[in-house]
Amino acid sequence: RRALRARRIPHDIPEKDDQKANRTRKGSRGGRPPTFRPQRYRQRNTIERLMNRRKQFRAVATRYDKLACRYRATVQIADILIWLRAKPDRPKP
């Protein structure tokens, strides 16, 4: 969080329970609690999971293709394969 604040980047990282307890123990010297928006964190989590799935494809993870257009095509193919492998949301009747 400190590094993100120094660069003026907004963050949505939940605060750990032990950090909450330490701040409470310090009282007014503990400072303000950082803002946390669960909806933004949920969206961030979705993006992180997608990126982790993409990294399972070696060409995407290592950026084997150096040209941007070819790398983009590789990412698109990986996304199509991820989509095809996805489990359906609804059970079959």
pLDDT at 9: 78
Domain boundaries, the chain: 38-85
DSSP H or E segment with residue 65: none
Residue 14's alpha-carbon distances to 41, 72, 75, in angstroms, are 8, 32, 30
pLDDT tens-place string over residues 5-14: 788 877 777 7
Note if the pTM is more than 0.95: no
Calculate what percentage of the chain has a pLDDT beyond 70.
94
